[in-house]
Amino acid sequence: MAEKILFVDDDANILAGYQRQLRKAFEVDTALGGEQGLQAVTQKGPYAVIVSDLRMPDMDGIQFLSRVREIAPDSVRMMLTGFADLQTSIQAVNEGNVFRFLTKPCDAETMGRSLLMGVNQYRLIMAERELLEETLRGSIKVLTQILSLLNPEAFGRASRITRYVREIATILKATGAWQLETAAMLSQIGCIMLPETAWKKIYHGQPLNPEEMQLFAMHPFIASDLLKNIPRLETVAEIIAYQAKRFDGSGDPQDQRQGKEIPLGGRILKLVLDFDTLEASGLAKSAAIMELKKRPGWYDPAVLAALEAVIWIEARYTVREVSSDELDEGMILDDDIWTQTGTLLITKGQEVSSIIKKRLKNFAETVGVKEPIRVLVPLHRGG
C-alpha cells in the first residue's frame, strides 16, 4: 500500500489545490484545521508525511505538529507558511521536530520533491524500526533460552511471575505492557551466577546463608547492567533494578525514591516475587495474600489489590490431568513436570506456551516425560 500524505490548513481552497496537483503522484488526505488534523492522524493514519500550515486559528501549526509528534512520532512533519522568519523556523524545528520548512507559495515541483524526500525518510525510519524490533526480539529470546538452560528453576520462576505481571498490568490499565512482561521474563537473568544449591533453597522457600544472601541481593543489578546496554531495553533495565525496592523506600537500590516514584514495573515485580516465594514455601495462594497484607509499607496498595483480583479470577479454573500431547496454550501447570529419569523439566505455575509444548515434545520422544500432567484450565474452556 502506498504511503499516505496529510495536508492540514484552515483554507479549503488551498487544500483542494494540493489534492489536484499531487493526486497522481501521492495518496493525499486533507484536514481543515488542527483539530480535524489530529482526528485524521488518529483515525485514518498512519501517514508517511504530514504537512501543516503555520497560521491557523485555535491551534497553530507549531502546536499541531507538536501534538502529532506525541501521537504519531514516526510520521515525517513539514511546515508550510508565508511568514518565513527565522524565529518561527527555529521554534517549529524545536517543538515539532520539523523535517522541512517550506514557504508559500510553494510550486508543485518543489512540493513534490520535498514530499518524496519525506516519504523516503519515513521508509528509512520504518526499516530501522523493523530491524531494531527483530534484533530486540531475538536478543530477548536468546537471553531467556540461556536462562532456561543454565538455571531452569530461575527460568520457571520468571515464567510464573510473568503471567501475574501481565494480568496485574491489565487490571491497572498500565501502559508499556511489553516492557513490564519483558522485565518479568528477564528479572532472574542475574541468577545465573548463583550456585545450584542456593537457587534450590529459593525455589523451596528455604533460608539462605549470609554469603548466598549477598549473592542473591546482587542479581537485580547484574541483570540491569547487562540489559541497559541493549537499545530499547533501558526502561526494562530500570524496572529490574527496582524489583527489591519496598513501597516505603526501604530496600535496594538505596536511593531516595519511594511510593509512586518507584517505577510501576518495579513495584509489581517486588510484590509478585514475594508472593511466589511464599507459595514456594508451601502456603496456599489465599494464605500468601494474607501474609503480604501483614507487611505495611512494603507494597503499592493498588498493585496488591490487583494481585488479589487475579488470584480470585484464578479460582475459576478447573483441575485436569492430561498427557503431554493434550497440553494446550493457556493452560497453567499445577505441578512440576519431570522426566522419566527424575530430572526436573518445568516448574509448576507456568502458563503453557508454544516453547513449553515444543520442549516437552522433544523430551517425550527421547527420555520420556512422567504423565499425566496436572493443569489448571479456565472454566469457560470446559472440563
Nearest CA-CA partner of 189 in 210, 218, 166: 218
Please state whether beta strands 332-333 and 317-322 pair in parallel, antiparallel, or not at all (unpaired).
Answer: unpaired
Count the domains in the chain.
Answer: 3
Q: What is the CATH number of the domain that holds 265?
A: 1.10.3210.10
Per residue in 212-254, pLDDT tens? Answer: 888 888 889 988 988 888 877 889 999 999 999 999 999 889 8
| Same-domain check for residues 194 and 166 | yes
Q: Which amino acid is at 16?
A: A
Structural domain range at position 381: 317-383
Nearest CA-CA partner of 144 in 329, 313, 294, 353: 353
| Same-domain check for residues 233 and 295 | yes
Q: Which residues pair with 50 in a beta bridge?
A: 6, 77
- 199 domain residue, yes or no: yes
- 133 domain residue, yes or no: no
Q: What is the CATH number of the domain that holds 17?
A: 3.40.50.2300
Q: Summarize the confidence of residues 61-87 as an average pLDDT.
A: 82
What is the pLDDT, as a whole number, of residue 248?
95
| Same-domain check for residues 248 and 337 | no
Cβ atoms 346, 360 nearer than 8 A: yes
Residue 358 has phi, psi (to 5 degrees) of -65, -40
- 228 domain residue, yes or no: yes
| Same-domain check for residues 304 and 323 | no
- 43 domain residue, yes or no: yes
Q: What is the CATH number of the domain that holds 355?
A: 3.90.105
What is the pLDDT, as a whole number, of residue 383?
41
Per residue in 172-211, pLDDT tens? Answer: 988 888 889 889 989 988 888 777 788 777 777 778 888 8
Helix/strand/coil for 70: helix
Q: Is the peptide bond before 195 cis (omega within 30 degrees of 0)?
A: no
